[in-house]
């Protein structure tokens, strides 16, 4: 079971979230139509691990860039224009581009990995969340805990409270 | 090995799956085409696929007589190069010679005998078979012969040498007609006439450019079009840089810079038609300065009296000190040589000019000297039976005969007088009066179009024949022409046609001319020569000799030079010295410009215009392709407000042509130049309706002595029509713009 | 920021999504027109050219590159502002970016695609163009990474990939909004497009980080792309092209023309999609100021180029310069100088800067000038290199002119398709600029 | 293992070629001998299957002439001079065209030749941009020969299709044959004068000399040392393999 509270105002919504967190609920989702830094802070989201993906991607890209150039040159020994077979200056450009390409691709990978998207399973959601409503979802609760969560949400000033099935 | 496997690996990764499946499907669905590697029913002998064979024969693109080697693969001619053992070409060949392949494989060749369907001159022909054509023609001639009217049969050919010439002569002789004549626009008639006067022999000597230190050329484009360009090229290269520390110098006198003028160290644009006078001026200095000290000095001095440098300078527009300097250089050079040709020998004063140049050589002691004029020993084979008319006088006589109905049958071979003679000669009109015109030709040119029967001839690369280069190379030389490819179409060589005709005509002709083919005839004649010269031929057996000659394509006797025993006295030259100034058709006031038609190294007198490689070959001096133009001095153009591409109407007393202008920096003001060779009305797809033919507006004048067309003696006026036409050329900006393209600036070399 | 008062969050969704979900006949007529022009002017001549050979174009021995390459550079240049500007402004946290960046990025993407098309049109054997990629091919041979053209291949591939990802990722929350506002097939499609986005704090957080990294990667990438394009020329030794200033020159020119392009596109969005509310005076003003700055830099580099050529004093360079300034194409050169150096100075006047109509004219003139600039670089330098006798001339053929016209239609078509598939204005970022929805303010 | 790899890396990181050229084919052209007669131009056309492009295409500068004669006037009438210079692929050791090709369609082989591999060419035409001598010719069309002119085509040289760049190869087919013959003949080296490109072969004035400049005894090596020797556009540092000998003065 999950409890879903819909708010019209973001300060109410944030207050509810804060109370839930301080009450020890750890399986809460905070849905908003715009990114809210405060909501992220409530959940204690600091530096995202995406950045590690970016770094790794860039490094892998750079290394594979230069490796690709050098390896191709060594496999096909085809001198051109009196340049060295392994001519570093032009390879730097390729490396540069490969660094960025892999950096971008890995960041994308990191986004998917960290955000858990794509996730097309049904999860508690209300369409107003993409317009102008702020939604708190408390998942995996039942019984007394659920009542407590519902109380916190109602106290914060939720417009609507729904009990829905847990996603997935 | 490892490299390959790595490559293959990459390839398999990519092409593996899809490629393999696709390949199988493709292979299954489409039957493998059966390709005929050798698309010939009967392969020629010595045939091995994939291996190139070289056959030696003789070039027929101009009358220089270069030996050529033709590369044959799978029975097809692939390339023509100079025959390395031939003394004329020595392994080299000009653009024209190499384009012989275009003639062989020309899409516009006549592929079967033709007869005109209805009206003559409409250009409509239909094919007939050889028997029918030969029977018709043969019976006609035969009838004339029986009626003892054989002199009503005329034979007009291009410049033919070797035993084909003898065959023609014999044919006409046996027929009982004295009217075998030749016409070739490029024939050096004036030189031959002048040599007859000066040296007593109507033959070209060998001009030893190779060993000359100073070459003084009066109008002769010896590197492009004059007599034997490839051989002169070899000689020129040697003269310039082939000798240690001795670089020959060349001076060119001509109103419009030719290829040879571009190569020259000094280019002198004397007033057109006065080049011979300049030669006399130089001769005057040689005598008056005491460079000449022969016993006949007084006679010389007397004859040259009127030609003092100051007089000559005024007439020729060459500064007096230039005349003095040239004369002194000419006298002091160890080996000097003066030659005449081109426009200098195409005025009404042609022979007088050529004599003047001969005089210069005589005075400088150049006769019989290395680097001078070397007389040929006897010709290799005495093939040329009788002197026959060559040149415009002969054509005029022929035209007169045709006009008065004295000609019943006109046989034409390889000659295009309609194109290469001025309209004023009236050939085109006169031919209407001839009941039967038969043309032996490989292509349908302007003259062939007027024939009743067109008998297609083999290209020289498909024919047997031989040739004696004229001028020789100082010693006896003869070349053999052999078919290097199986003939492409239902054609015959000119010799074979004549032999077949002889059989058709009957009487004593087939008995006297009993050879089965031209091959047999050539072979028999060579056997006769062999027998005559047996003593000095190394080979004892004729068969051996013959095989060796065919293989080499040439036979010669390098030791047998004439030496100087042939050097004639100067008396006749002295007697012949006159005032060589050309008379121009048209008054200077009405026609302010002198027309300078020039031969191009590509088309010569127009015979090369049907060869696409030559059409695409930029003109050496202007880089123009595919067309005609008229050249003007930049100052003249400025004055008249003419720019490149303005269509000008060039008008002479004989007619007018419309042609785009080209500004040419190296032409004398007051002269306009036009290339000869374009302007064909018929000559295949590459030549037809392209440019204009300046010969049409040349006044039909002759030099009386030489009896040939004075094609450089016409005045013209020009009119800007206001139309524009692109002159197609490849050149961009023909100035170096200070860039060191032709070498570092002097002092930094 | 908003000229006509604050819209509500719901207004934003309604205004923007209605442009996507409600389609009038005018749209279809417009789309049909641009598509027909694209087919008739671009693809049919191209087909003809494929059949005949590149000889269908006006290029020749002396000028083996022509309008295809100059158009390629132009379109690459036009692509430069969108993503780059968006990324820079994202990093610097400039709020005025938020309502225009989506369309600007789309412009990047589509002009880049058009540019890539021009490479296809340009090469002689387009059916083998994949040999330039490091993938297995029947030659068993990988490309030459020492070649400046390979830099291009790598740079453009990367740029296309990065720009696509950048615009896509920025649109994911908006795809979710579209999903929520639609039904049926569209809903299913947008469910997939949006990855099942719910807008949780964790999702926003990850997207924010990823997006910032994309921006960080895209900025040096964009700079490198046009530098590399300039090196196609500058690494040759052709007089008039062999200048060290070329990379900054091209980058500056690219951003310049791109920014002008944004002004044009913004005008159209306002006019045809009714985004007056979201794209307002502040944007025009800021873009105008940017244009002035870029125009001044561009002029400076041009003067520098003239000066260094004159100062260098080699025959080759001077001749090339002389031809450019006084030769056949001189009128085009001076047209370019007028449009790109002098006309933008008018933006200094507030009267001009604040008028959408006037700015539209200026921005179009700038891009005409920039199109000419690319053409002049190619057409005046290449046919006149080192050997004067080999000097030639270049005149575009009807095929080239037609394909050039067609390329604008392709761009327009892509853009028209885009506005129906992606919210042309970023919903969530515009909402960010609105007054926060708080009970206690 | 590692050390050999490092050595290999080091070796290949130096500018230049292989260890050394097997042959270094070089040509000298003596401008004092050259008369501009263009025999070489036709020889090349015949040998290398150059197309007949036609007047219309000529008018738009679409001709294909692997060797062409350039003309430069000097001075004005009457002191006007003409300088001819045959321009063909200079087979530069530091060829700008090779570097720019993205698909290795042009590269430097062990004979010091700047090769053009038609099969690999995708037709970017950048090599023609980078070439300062403008000796690269592009196939704007697929050219055909009016039947039966195609019978002349040299079977040793491929006919190029549209979209492919082509240029002078120093008649590589002749070099191949000469090298094959030399290999069959006891694996000896190709002798001086054994291989001549078509243009050199045809030159009536013997202005062109071709040979292996690695062989100090070769005629071409001697000609290269001539004091009149220079290279066209030497200042661009492309190190051409064609050495011109400046025209001498009287």
Nearest Cα of chain D lies from the Cα of C88 at a distance, in angstroms, of 32
pLDDT score of B447: 92
Residue B454 belongs to what H/E stretch? strand B453-456
pLDDT score of D18: 61
Residues D148 and D60: beta-carbon distance below 8 Å? no
**Total structural domains within chain B:** 2
Chain pair B-C, CB pairs under 8 angstroms: 47
Q: Which residues of C touch D128 (CB under 8 A)?
A: 61, 64
pLDDT score of B531: 83
Q: Does some domain include residue C440?
A: no
Nearest CA in chain A to C203: A115
pLDDT score of B380: 59
Domain limits at C393?
9-127+149-432
Nearest Cα of chain B lies from the Cα of C314 at a distance, in angstroms, of 10
Q: Compute the radius of gyration of chain A from its Cα atoms.
A: 25
Instruction: Tell me which of B324, B341, B374 is where a domain ends.
Output: B374
Rounded to 5°, the CA angle D95-D101-D106 comes to: 60
Nearest Cα of chain D lies from the Cα of C53 at a distance, in angstroms, of 5
Q: Where does the pLDDT of residue B213 fall: very low under 50, low under 70, confident under 90, or very high at 90 and above?
A: very high
Q: Where does the pLDDT of residue C269 fall: very low under 50, low under 70, confident under 90, or very high at 90 and above?
A: confident
On whether any CB of chain B is under 8 Å from the CB of D250, the answer is yes
Return d(Cα D144, Cα C253) in angstroms, integer. 44
Find chains touching chain B: ≥3 CB pairs under 8 Å: A, C, D
Residues B604 and B62: beta-carbon distance below 8 Å? yes
pLDDT score of B27: 37
B169 CB-near residues (< 8 Å, 6+ apart): B180, B385, B386, B388
Q: Does some domain include residue B324?
A: yes
Q: Which residues of C touch A58 (CB under 8 A)?
A: 217
Cβ within 8 Å of A, C 148-167: 148, 150-151, 154-155, 157-158, 161-162, 165-166
Mean pLDDT of D28-39: 94
Nearest CA in chain A to B7: A75
Return d(Cα A97, Cα B338) in angstroms, integer. 72
Give the total residue count for chain B. Answer: 749
* Residue of B10, B623, B736 lying closest to C140 (CB–CB): B10
Return d(Cα C385, Cα C382) in angstroms, integer. 6
Backbone angles phi, psi at C162, to 5 degrees: -65, -40
Return d(Cα A41, Cα B319) in angstroms, integer. 104
Nearest Cα of chain D lies from the Cα of B534 at a distance, in angstroms, of 34
* Residue of D8, D13, D96 lying closest to A84 (CB–CB): D13
pLDDT score of B45: 57
D108–A80 CB contact, under 8 Å: yes
The per-residue pLDDT for range B335-372, each reduced to its tens digit, is 999 999 999 999 999 999 999 999 999 999 888 888 99
Q: Does B7 have pLDDT greater than 60? A: no
Q: Which residues of C touch A129 (CB under 8 A)?
A: 180, 198-199
* Residue of D9, D14, D99 lying closest to A81 (CB–CB): D99
B739–C388 CB contact, under 8 Å: yes
Rounded to 5°, the CA angle C180-C183-C189 comes to: 80
* Residue of D9, D18, D239 lying closest to A86 (CB–CB): D9
pLDDT score of A93: 93
Q: Which residues of A touch D92 (CB under 8 A)?
A: 81
Closest CA to C136 of D230, B6, D98: B6
D104–A84 CB contact, under 8 Å: no
Nearest Cα of chain A lies from the Cα of C437 at a distance, in angstroms, of 5
Q: Which residues of D touch B486 (CB under 8 A)?
A: none
Q: Does some domain include residue B523?
A: no
B741–D85 CB contact, under 8 Å: yes
Nearest CA in chain A to B10: A75
pLDDT score of B57: 94
Domain limits at B271?
205-374
Nearest Cα of chain D lies from the Cα of B383 at a distance, in angstroms, of 29
Q: Does B32 have pLDDT greater than 90? A: no
The per-residue pLDDT for range B554-606, each reduced to its tens digit, is 888 776 665 555 667 788 888 888 887 888 999 999 999 999 999 998 898 89
Q: Which residues of D touch A85 (CB under 8 A)?
A: 12-13
**Total structural domains within chain C:** 1
pLDDT score of B15: 39
Q: Which residue has the tokens 């989506």?
A: C102
Return d(Cα C238, Cα A141) in angstroms, integer. 74
B237–D33 CB contact, under 8 Å: yes
On whether any CB of chain A is under 8 Å from the CB of C237, the answer is no
In sign, the C-alpha dihedral spanning B301, B307, B309, B310 is positive
Q: Does some domain include residue B325?
A: yes
- Selected for mutation to probe chain D from B40, B491, B618 (highest D CB count within 10 Å) is B618
Find chains touching chain C: ≥3 CB pairs under 8 Å: A, B, D
Cβ within 8 Å of A, C 112-141: 134, 141
pLDDT score of A155: 82
Q: Does some domain include residue C49?
A: yes
pLDDT score of B74: 86
* Residue of B229, B230, B666 lying closest to D77 (CB–CB): B666
Rounded to 5°, the CA angle D63-B96-B526 comes to: 155
Beta-carbon count within 10 A of B690 CB: 18
Q: Which residues of B touch C141 (CB under 8 A)?
A: 7
In sign, the C-alpha dihedral spanning C317, C322, C324, C329 is negative
Beta-carbon count within 10 A of B50 CB: 9
Q: Does B385 have pLDDT greater than 70? A: no
On whether any CB of chain D is under 8 Å from the CB of A75, the answer is no
What percent of chain B is modeled with pLDDT above 70? 89
Q: What is the second-level CATH architecture of the domain D20-245?
A: 2-Layer Sandwich (3.30)
D129–C65 CB contact, under 8 Å: yes
Q: Where does the pLDDT of residue B387 fall: very low under 50, low under 70, confident under 90, or very high at 90 and above?
A: low
Q: Does C435 have pLDDT greater than 70? A: yes
Q: Does A21 have pLDDT greater than 90? A: no
Nearest Cα of chain D lies from the Cα of B615 at a distance, in angstroms, of 9
Beta-carbon count within 10 A of B564 CB: 12
On whether any CB of chain A is under 8 Å from the CB of D96, the answer is yes
Return d(Cα A37, Cα A21) in angstroms, integer. 16
* Residue of D61, D102, D123 lying closest to C60 (CB–CB): D61
pLDDT score of B747: 53
Q: Does B618 have pLDDT greater than 70? A: yes
Q: Where does the pLDDT of residue B148 fall: very low under 50, low under 70, confident under 90, or very high at 90 and above?
A: confident
CA B646 to chain centre: 31
Nearest CA in chain B to C134: B10
Q: Which residue has the tokens 């034409």?
A: B412
Instruction: Tell me which of B374, B401, B431 is where a domain ends.
Output: B374
* Residue of B7, B732, B738 lying closest to C315 (CB–CB): B738
Among B305-314, B325-334, C136-145, the least confident range: C136-145
Q: Which residues of D touch A81 (CB under 8 A)?
A: 92, 94-99, 108
Higher pLDDT: C38 or A119? It is: C38
pLDDT score of C3: 52
**CATH no. for residue B671?**
2.40.40.20
Beta-carbon count within 10 A of C177 CB: 26
Q: Does B13 have pLDDT greater than 70? A: no
Q: Which residues of D touch A87 (CB under 8 A)?
A: 13, 15
Mean pLDDT of D152-160: 93
Q: Which residues of A touch B3 (CB under 8 A)?
A: 75, 77
B38 CB-contact burial (10 Å; exposed 0-12 / middle 13-18 / buried 19+): exposed
Return d(Cα D209, Cα D199) in angstroms, integer. 10
pLDDT score of B26: 38
pTM: 0.91
Q: Compute the radius of gyration of chain B from its Cα atoms.
A: 28
Q: Does some domain include residue C135?
A: no
Q: Which residues of B touch D84 (CB under 8 A)?
A: 262, 620
Residues D165 and D125: beta-carbon distance below 8 Å? yes
CA B115 to chain centre: 30
Closest CA to B286 of B230, B342, B324, B245: B324
User: Two tokens at B227?
Assistant: 């007599």
pLDDT score of B535: 57
Residue C41 DSSP class: I
Q: Which residues of B touch C137 (CB under 8 A)?
A: 11, 14
Q: What is the DSSP string of C348-396?
A: GSHHHHT-HHHHHHHHHHHHHHHHHHHHHHHHHHTTSSS-GGG------
Q: Which residues of A touch C429 (CB under 8 A)?
A: 34
Strands B336-340 and B214-218: parallel
pLDDT score of D17: 67
Backbone angles phi, psi at A104, to 5 degrees: -65, -45
- The CB-side HSE value for B574 (13 A sphere, CA atoms) comes to 17
Q: What is the DSSP string of B545-593?
A: HHHHHHHHSEEE-TT---TTTTPPPSHHHHHH-----PPPBS-TTTS-E
Q: Which residues of B touch D66 (CB under 8 A)?
A: none
Nearest CA in chain C to A58: C217
Residues B749 and B675: beta-carbon distance below 8 Å? no
Residues B340 and B207: beta-carbon distance below 8 Å? no
pLDDT score of B728: 93
A130–C180 CB contact, under 8 Å: yes
A84–D17 CB contact, under 8 Å: no
Provide ipTM, 2 decimals.
0.90
C437–A10 CB contact, under 8 Å: yes
Residues D58 and D66: beta-carbon distance below 8 Å? no
């Amino acid at each position: 079971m999950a409890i879903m509270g819909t708010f019209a105002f973001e300060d109410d919504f944030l207050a509810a979230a804060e109370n839930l967190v301080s009450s020890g609920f750890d399986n809460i989702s905070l849905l908003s139509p715009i990114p809210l830094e405060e909501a992220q802070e409530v959940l204690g989201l600091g530096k995202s691990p995406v950045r590690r993906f970016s770094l790794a991607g860039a490094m892998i890209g750079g290394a594979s860039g230069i490796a690709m150039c050098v390896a191709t040159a060594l496999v096909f020994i085809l001198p051109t224009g009196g340049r060295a077979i392994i001519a570093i200056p032009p390879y730097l450009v390729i490396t540069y581009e490969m660094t960025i390409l892999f950096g971008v691709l890995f960041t994308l990978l990191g986004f998917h990995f960290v955000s858990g998207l794509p996730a097309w399973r049904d999860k508690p959601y209300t369409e107003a969340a993409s317009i102008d409503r702020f939604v708190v979802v408390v998942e995996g609760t039942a019984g007394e805990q659920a009542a407590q969560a519902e109380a916190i949400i109602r106290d914060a000033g939720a417009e609507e409270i729904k009990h829905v099935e847990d996603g997935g | 090995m490892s490299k390959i496997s790595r490559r293959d690996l990459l390839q398999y990764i990519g092409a593996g799956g899809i490629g393999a499946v696709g390949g199988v499907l493709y292979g299954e669905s489409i039957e493998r085409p059966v390709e005929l590697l050798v698309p010939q029913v009967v392969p020629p002998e010595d045939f091995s696929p994939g291996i190139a064979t070289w056959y030696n024969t003789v070039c027929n693109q101009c009358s220089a007589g270069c030996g050529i080697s033709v590369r044959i693969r799978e029975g097809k001619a692939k390339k023509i190069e100079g025959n390395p053992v031939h003394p004329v070409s020595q392994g080299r060949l000009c653009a024209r010679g190499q384009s012989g392949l275009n003639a062989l494989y020309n899409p516009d060749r006549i592929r079967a005998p033709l007869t005109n369907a209805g009206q003559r001159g409409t250009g409509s022909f239909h094919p007939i078979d050889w028997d029918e054509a030969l029977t018709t023609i043969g019976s006609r001639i035969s009838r004339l012969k029986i009626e003892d009217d054989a002199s009503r049969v005329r034979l007009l050919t291009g410049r033919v040498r070797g035993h084909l010439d003898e065959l023609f002569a014999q044919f006409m002789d046996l027929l009982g007609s004295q009217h075998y004549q030749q016409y070739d626009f490029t024939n050096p008639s004036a030189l031959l006439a002048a040599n007859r006067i000066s040296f007593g022999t109507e033959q070209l000597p060998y001009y030893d450019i190779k060993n000359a230190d100073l070459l003084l050329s009066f109008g002769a484009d010896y590197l492009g079009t004059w007599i034997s360009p490839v051989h002169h090229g070899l000689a020129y290269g040697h003269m310039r840089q082939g000798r240690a520390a001795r670089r020959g110098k060349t001076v060119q006198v001509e109103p419009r810079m030719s290829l040879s003028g571009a190569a020259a160290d000094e280019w002198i644009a004397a007033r057109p038609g006065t080049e011979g006078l300049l030669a006399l001026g130089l001769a005057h200095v040689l005598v008056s300065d005491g460079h000449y000290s022969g016993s006949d000095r007084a006679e010389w001095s007397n004859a040259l009296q009127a030609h003092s440098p100051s007089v000559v300078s005024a007439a020729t527009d060459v500064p007096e000190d230039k005349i003095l300097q040239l004369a002194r250089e000419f006298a002091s050079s160890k080996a000097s040589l003066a030659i005449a040709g081109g426009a200098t020998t195409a005025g009404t004063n042609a022979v007088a000019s050529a004599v003047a140049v001969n005089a210069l050589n005589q005075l400088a002691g150049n006769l019989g000297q290395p680097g001078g004029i070397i007389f040929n020993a006897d010709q290799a084979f005495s093939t040329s039976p009788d002197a026959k008319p060559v040149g415009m006088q002969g054509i005029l006589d022929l035209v007169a005969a045709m006009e008065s109905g004295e000609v019943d049958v006109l046989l034409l071979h390889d000659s295009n007088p309609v194109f290469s003679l001025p309209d004023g000669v009236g050939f085109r009109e006169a031919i209407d009066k001839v009941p039967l015109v038969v043309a032996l030709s490989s292509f349908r040119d302007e003259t062939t179009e007027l024939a009743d029967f067109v008998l297609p001839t083999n290209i020289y690369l498909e024919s047997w024949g031989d040739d004696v280069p004229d001028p020789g190379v100082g010693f006896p030389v003869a070349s053999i022409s052999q078919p290097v490819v199986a003939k492409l179409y239902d054609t015959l060589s000119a010799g074979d046609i004549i032999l077949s005709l002889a059989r058709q005509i009957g009487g004593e002709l087939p008995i006297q001319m009993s050879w089965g083919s031209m091959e047999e005839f050539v072979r028999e004649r060579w056997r006769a020569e062999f027998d005559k010269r047996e003593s000095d031929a190394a080979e004892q057996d004729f068969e051996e000799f013959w095989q060796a000659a065919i293989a080499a394509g040439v036979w010669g006797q390098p030791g047998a030079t004439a030496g100087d025993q042939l050097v004639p006295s100067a008396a006749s030259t002295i007697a012949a010295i006159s005032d060589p100034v050309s008379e121009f058709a048209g008054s200077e006031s009405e026609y302010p410009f002198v027309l300078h038609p020039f031969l191009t190294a590509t088309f010569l007198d127009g015979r090369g215009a049907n060869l696409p490689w030559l059409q695409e070959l930029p003109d050496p001096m202007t880089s123009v392709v595919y067309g005609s133009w008229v050249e003007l001095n930049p100052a003249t153009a400025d004055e008249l407000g003419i720019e490149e591409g303005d269509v000008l109407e060039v008008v002479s007393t004989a007619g007018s042509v419309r042609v785009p202008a080209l500004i040419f920096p190296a032409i004398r003001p007051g002269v306009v130049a036009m290339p000869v060779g374009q302007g064909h009305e018929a000559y295949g797809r590459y030549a037809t309706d392209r440019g204009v033919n300046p010969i049409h507006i040349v006044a039909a004048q002759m030099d009386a002595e030489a009896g040939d067309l004075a094609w450089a003696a016409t005045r013209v006026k020009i009119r800007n029509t206001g139309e524009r036409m692109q002159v197609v050329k490849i050149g961009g900006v023909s100035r170096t713009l200070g860039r060191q393209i032709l070498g570092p600036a002097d002092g930094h070399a | 920021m908003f000229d006509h008062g604050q819209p509500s969050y719901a207004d934003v969704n309604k205004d923007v999504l209605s442009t996507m979900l409600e389609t009038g006949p005018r749209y279809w007529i417009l789309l049909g027109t641009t598509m027909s022009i694209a087919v008739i002017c671009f693809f049919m001549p191209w087909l003809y050219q494929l059949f005949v050979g590149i000889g269908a174009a006006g290029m020749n021995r002396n000028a083996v590159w022509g309008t295809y390459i100059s158009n390629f550079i132009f379109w690459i240049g036009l692509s430069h502002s969108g993503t780059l500007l968006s990324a820079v402004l994202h990093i610097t946290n400039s709020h005025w970016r938020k309502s225009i960046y989506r369309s600007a990025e789309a412009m990047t993407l589509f002009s880049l695609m058009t540019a890539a098309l021009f490479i296809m049109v340009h090469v002689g054997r387009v059916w083998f163009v994949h040999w330039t990629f490091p993938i297995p091919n029947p030659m068993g041979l990988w490309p030459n990474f020492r070649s400046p053209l390979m830099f291009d291949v790598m740079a453009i591939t990367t740029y296309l990939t990065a720009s696509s990802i950048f615009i896509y990722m920025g649109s994911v929350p908006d795809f979710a909004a579209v999903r929520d506002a639609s039904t049926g097939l569209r809903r299913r499609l947008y469910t997939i497009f949006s990855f099942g986005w719910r807008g949780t704090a964790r999702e926003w957080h990850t997207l924010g980080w990823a997006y910032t990294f994309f921006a960080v990667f895209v900025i040096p990438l964009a700079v490198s792309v046009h530098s590399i394009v300039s090196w196609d020329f500058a690494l040759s030794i052709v007089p008039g092209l062999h200048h060290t200033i070329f990379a900054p020159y091209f980058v500056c020119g690219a951003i310049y023309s791109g920014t002008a392009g944004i002004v044009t596109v913004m005008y159209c969005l306002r006019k045809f999609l009714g985004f007056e509310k979201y794209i307002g005076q502040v944007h025009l003003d800021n873009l105008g100021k940017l244009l002035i700055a870029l125009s001044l830099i561009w002029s400076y580099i041009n003067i520098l180029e003239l000066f260094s050529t004159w100062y260098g004093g080699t025959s080759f360079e001077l001749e090339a310069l002389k031809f450019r300034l006084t030769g056949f194409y001189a009128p085009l050169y001076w047209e370019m100088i007028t449009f790109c150096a002098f006309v933008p100075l008018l933006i200094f006047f507030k009267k001009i800067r604040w008028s959408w109509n006037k700015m539209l004219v200026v921005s179009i003139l700038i891009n005409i000038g920039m199109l000419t600039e690319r053409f002049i670089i190619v057409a005046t330098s290449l046919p006149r290199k080192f050997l004067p006798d080999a000097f030639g001339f270049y005149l575009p053929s009807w095929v080239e002119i037609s394909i050039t016209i067609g390329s604008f239609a392709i761009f327009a078509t892509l853009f028209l398709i885009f506005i129906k598939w992606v919210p042309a204005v970023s919903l969530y970022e515009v909402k960010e600029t609105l007054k926060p929805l708080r009970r206690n303010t | 293992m590692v050390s050999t790899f490092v050595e290999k890396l080091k070796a290949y990181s130096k500018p230049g070629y292989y260890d050394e050229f097997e042959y270094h084919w070089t040509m000298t052209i003596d401008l004092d001998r050259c008369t501009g007669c263009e025999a070489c131009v036709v020889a090349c056309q015949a040998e290398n299957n150059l197309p007949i492009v036609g007047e219309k295409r000529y008018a738009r500068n679409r001709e294909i002439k692997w060797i062409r004669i350039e003309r430069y006037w000097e001075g004005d009438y009457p002191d006007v001079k003409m300088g001819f210079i045959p321009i063909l692929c200079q087979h530069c050791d530091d060829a700008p065209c090779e570097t720019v090709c993205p698909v290795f369609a042009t590269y430097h082989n062990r004979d010091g030749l700047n090769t053009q591999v038609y099969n690999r060419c995708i037709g970017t035409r950048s090599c023609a941009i980078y070439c300062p001598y403008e000796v690269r010719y592009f196939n704007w069309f697929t050219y055909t020969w009016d039947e039966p002119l195609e019978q002349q085509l040299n079977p040793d040289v491929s006919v190029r299709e549209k979209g492919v760049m082509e240029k002078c190869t120093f008649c590589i087919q002749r070099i191949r044959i000469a090298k094959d013959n030399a290999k069959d003949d006891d694996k000896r080296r190709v002798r001086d004068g054994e291989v001549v490109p078509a243009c050199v072969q045809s030159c009536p004035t013997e202005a062109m000399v071709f040979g292996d400049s690695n062989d100090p005894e070769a005629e071409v090596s001697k000609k290269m040392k001539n004091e009149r020797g220079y290279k066209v556009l030497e200042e661009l540092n492309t190190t051409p393999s064609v050495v011109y000998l400046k025209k001498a003065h009287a």
